[in-house]
């Protein structure tokens, strides 16, 4: 297996230095690798394993468990359509069917021009704005098939597209770098609107508080 140049600069070391135990860096390292390679293949697994003194099997177990890592090459933009219960009831399945028909791909498929990867997503934790779509993990709320088609067309035309509650869409590789801890440029202002905060406000009005849980204990490090 030939080595890849992904660890050639200091970003691997910078991530590892954040943690008291090197193996704790596996998640952000994988995001960094995915930002560079567009996927987590065998070569990338081997490089992360070597950097953290893990076995390739241990790293592969992480990659296969967490759905945000992809062993297939991703397109320039990742479109996730929530089809969990509430989103599905409010049109998520219709969104997914229209999108895959328009782009000519199946679930987790990538368009022939490498522009879009489409995936069914479980709950996005944004039920107040169902049906929800994420593009490069940024929220697009209250979507309809027509609105989604317009967003996709704008991205294909190279136009700037801004998320409903976030910043401009810059591509999945940029998002992966942000998840690794680099190049974050947060959008000013709150990411939550009146609907998202409704439950909190009702609790405040009624004087409701969460029960105090037990004091955490330090686990045994291995």
Say how many domains are in the chain: 2
Same domain, 148 and 97: yes
57 in any annotated domain: yes
Contacts of 105 (CB under 8 A, 6+ apart): 111, 116, 117, 118
Residues 141 and 127: their CA atoms lie apart, in Å, by: 9
Burial class (CB in 10 A: 0-12, 13-18, 19+), 50: middle
In a domain, 154, yes or no: yes
CATH code, 102: 3.40.30.10
What averages of pLDDT result for each successive group of 10 residues across the chain (222 residues)?
A: 57 94 96 95 95 96 95 96 93 96 96 97 90 95 95 96 90 95 70 77 87 69 47
DSSP state of 23: G
**Do you find a cis peptide bond into 131, omega within 30 degrees of 0?**
yes
Q: Is residue 220 part of a domain?
A: no
Q: Are residues 46 and 85 in the same domain?
A: no
Do 82 and 166 fall within a single domain?
yes
Assess if residue 142 is contained within a domain.
yes
The three-state secondary structure class of 120 is strand
Q: Are 58 and 84 contained in the same domain?
A: no
Same domain as 54, residue 113: no
Domain presence at residue 95: yes
Give me the domain span that covers residue 126. Answer: 77-172
Do both 82 and 139 map to the same domain? yes
Same domain, 24 and 56: yes
> Domain check: are 87 and 168 in the same one?
yes
Q: What are phi and psi of 117, to 5 degrees?
A: -115, 135
Distant-in-sequence, close-in-space partners of 66: CB < 8 Å, separation ≥ 6: 27
The pLDDT value given to residue 200: 84
Domain identity same for 168 and 82: yes
d(CA 39, CA 129): 30
Q: Cα separation of 93 and 83, whole Å?
A: 6
- CATH number reported for the structural domain that contains residue 21 in this entry: 1.10.10
Same domain, 151 and 83: yes
**22-38, pLDDT tens digit by residue?**
999 999 999 999 999 99
Residues 61, 140, single domain; the answer is: no
Q: Does 159 fall in a domain?
A: yes
Is residue 92 located within the same domain as residue 146?
A: yes
pLDDT of residue 40: 96
* 196 belongs to a structural domain: no
Residue 83 burial (10 A CB sphere; 0-12, 13-18, 19+): buried
pLDDT score of 97: 96
The backbone torsions φ and ψ at residue 133, rounded to the nearest 5 degrees and listed phi first, read -125, 145
């Amino acid at each position: 297996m030939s080595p890849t140049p992904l660890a050639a600069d200091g970003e691997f070391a910078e991530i590892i230095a954040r943690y008291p135990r090197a193996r704790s860096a596996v998640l952000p390292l994988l995001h960094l690798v995915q930002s560079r390679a567009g996927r987590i293949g065998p070569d990338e697994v081997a490089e992360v394993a070597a950097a953290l003194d893990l076995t390739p099997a241990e790293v592969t177990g992480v990659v296969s468990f967490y759905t945000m890592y992809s062993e297939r090459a991703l397109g320039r933009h990742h479109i996730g359509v929530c089809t969990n219960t509430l989103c599905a009831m409010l049109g998520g399945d219709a969104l997914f069917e229209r999108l895959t028909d328009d782009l000519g791909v199946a679930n987790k498929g990538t368009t022939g021009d490498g522009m879009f990867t489409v995936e069914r997503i479980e709950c996005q934790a944004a039920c107040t704005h169902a049906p929800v779509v994420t593009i490069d993990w940024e929220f697009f709320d209250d979507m309809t098939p027509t609105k989604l088609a317009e967003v996709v067309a704008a991205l294909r035309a190279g136009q700037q597209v801004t998320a409903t509650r976030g910043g401009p869409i810059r591509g999945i590789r940029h998002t992966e770098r942000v998840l690794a801890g680099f190049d974050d440029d947060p959008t000013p202002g709150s990411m939550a609107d009146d609907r998202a905060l409704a439950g909190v406000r009702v609790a405040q009005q009624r004087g409701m508080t969460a029960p105090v849980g037990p004091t955490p204990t330090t686990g045994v490090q291995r």
